[in-house]
Structure 1
Amino acid sequence: MYDTSTRERALSLVAQGRSLNSVSKETGISRAALRSWQTRIEPLPRMRRDPCSRCGPAAEPPEDQAAYAYLLGLYLGDGCISPGKKSGYFLRIACADAWPGLIEACAAAVEAVNPSGKSSRVQAVGHTSVVGYSRHWPCFFPQHGPGKKHHRRITLAPWQQTIVDTHPWEFVRGLIHSDGCRVTNWTTRLVGGVPKRYAYPRYFFTNKSDDIRRLFTDTLDKVGVAWSRSERGGTPFNVSVARKASVALMDTHVGPKY
């Protein structure tokens, strides 16, 4: 969903003689959308965001706040919201088929937060999208907006921060289950002149958004997990948890995907 001012800014770049491909890469807006805006710049009626009759200008926190904290982590990693028919919206969370337990946990969270209590699944190549339909998704996830998440500012509303502070591990678990992993690294050391191999577990979280990584590390700080940054291609996309005590905490409250 893009407002008129966003559309005008994007088209102004095209008007400068730039290609649709270059504007798409800079803004995160698809070339198909840019082409359609050259014909009609005003959003269709179903794309306009009207005040929610239930929530008004601000959302009422979902009743199951632990499930919401987990779903918020999943949404920030692998989720998106798109308009549906009439005034409703689709929330989609992409879950790798390699982790059927993750798909079940995601569906349970969507059903717990969705006022209708429903979810559905859409199969694609290598992954399953867990989908919920509601008018309230933009209210529950005010981070929703035009373009890719790492191209825009991501902050939590005060009521969201309160939920994350109350249920930090659920939030961390959602982020790890979306854009994180638990791996086993190994190294060799000479012991008495003989090389021995040592294996040790660690957690990684990878996300291009500086803001989302900061939300993750701020929450790790609050629960007492030590972390470090590691670069990929000169860019600090990765957050690593490798200290033994911190990995043990993560294993207790998060655990590997399954």
Structure 2
Amino acid sequence: MEQHGYAIRSHALAMIRQGASYAEVSNRLNVPHGTISWWRHEERRALGITIERTHDCPRCCPRDFDRRAYSYVLGLYLGDGHIVSKPKQHHLSIFCCDSWPGLITAAEDAMRAVMPLPRVRRRQLTGCTEVKSFTRHWTCLFPQHGPGKKYRRRVALEAWQQDIVEAHPWEFIRGLIHSDGCRIVNWTTKVVGGERKRYEYPRYFFSNKSDDIRALFTEALRMVGVRWTILARGADPFNVSVARKESVALMDAHVGAKY
């Protein structure tokens, strides 16, 4: 690793204190950005200066925020998301199948709409993309966070979350479908006038092990007038099915297939 002398370090820190950006200092002195950041961190620590990171959490600093986007992200989180919250590592992760690039972009855009300040990035995994937003304050917005898998603990919305879902139920439903649901097309054949014809009919499924999360989904369906049935997998009521023609039409108008 290239070593930089005391004079270069002092010059770099003086420039930073005078308002220069890390990029400016790095380019001018030919010192890596990370090295400058470390020097600045060490200087603050020596002076006993603690830095409080800026944030735009609407729960900690009450402000107006995009509740429609929040309702969608809430659905994504309950379906197939998780929060990491431990020393020096805090982020919300939503896992999206690579077959649906539009969903990946929608998740990223919605996270930024709710809290614009945190850094958001994508991490490519095998067959899927992890969309990550880095801030400890996602735990403020998702009090359902806790140890262990969501289906093994009680999941209930707080009053302020319930108000948002009631105001934007379709976004909540869409988030749940985009995470743990699908739109499929079933088909059958029937002989009509001596000729066998093929008939296709679409339906929606939502599959989740948590009784509480399935109940939140079906309650949102009730709000918007969508009829549903429960299909058990063995003795486990694992799937919620929407198959009635008029209900599927409503889902198509407001949710649609993953893309």
Answer yes or no: same fold by TM over 0.5: yes
Q: 1:215 to 1:59 in 2, by over 3 A?
A: farther
Q: 1:89 to 1:59 in 2, by over 3 A?
A: farther
Task: Give yes or no for contact 1:232–1:238 (8 Å, CA) kept in 2.
Answer: yes
Q: Check if 1:153 corresponds to 2:154.
A: yes
Displacement of 1:197 in angstroms is 1.9
Displacement of 1:116 in angstroms is 1.1
Displacement of 1:114 in angstroms is 2.3
Return 5+ residue gaps in structure 2 as ranges.
1-54
CA distance in 2, matches of 1:57, 1:68: 12
CA distance in 2, matches of 1:144, 1:57: 15
Displacement of 1:112 in angstroms is 1.1
Task: Give yes or no for contact 2:203–2:248 (8 Å, CA) kept in 1.
Answer: yes
Matching residue of 1:83: 85
1:69-100 deviation line (CA, Å, top 9, x unaligned):
000000001100012554x6210000000000
1:105-152 deviation line (CA, Å, top 9, x unaligned):
000011111251531001100000000011211110000001100000
Q: Check if 1:114 corresponds to 2:79.
A: no
Secondary structure of 1:119's counterpart equals strand
Displacement of 1:180 in angstroms is 0.4
Secondary structure of 1:212's counterpart equals helix
Instruction: Point out the more displaced range, 224-233 or 188-197.
Output: 188-197
**Which has the larger Rg?**
2
Q: 1:55 to 1:257 in 2, by over 3 A?
A: closer
Displacement of 1:231 in angstroms is 1.6
Which runs of structure 2 are paired with 1:1-258 in the superposition (5 Å)?
A: 60=62, 63-83=65-85, 85-86=87-88, 89-258=90-259
Task: Give yes or no for contact 1:115–1:134 (8 Å, CA) kept in 2.
Answer: no
Task: Give yes or no for contact 2:85–2:136 (8 Å, CA) kept in 1.
Answer: no
* Overall identity of the aligned pairs, in %: 60
Let me know the Cα RMSD of the aligned residues.
2.1
Displacement of 1:60 in angstroms is 4.7
Question: After the TM superposition, which parts of structure 1 deviate over 4 Å for at least 4 consecutive aligned residues?
Answer: 53-62
CA distance in 1, matches of 2:63, 2:77: 16
Secondary structure of 1:150's counterpart equals helix
TM-score, normalisation: structure 2: 0.74
Displacement of 1:174 in angstroms is 0.2
Task: Give yes or no for contact 2:118–2:134 (8 Å, CA) kept in 1.
Answer: no
CA distance in 2, matches of 1:213, 1:143: 15
Return 5+ residue gaps in structure 1 as ranges.
1-52
Matched to 2:94, the amino acid is: I
Secondary structure of 2:241's counterpart equals strand
Q: 1:92 to 1:62 in 2, by over 3 A?
A: farther
State the number of aligned residues: 205
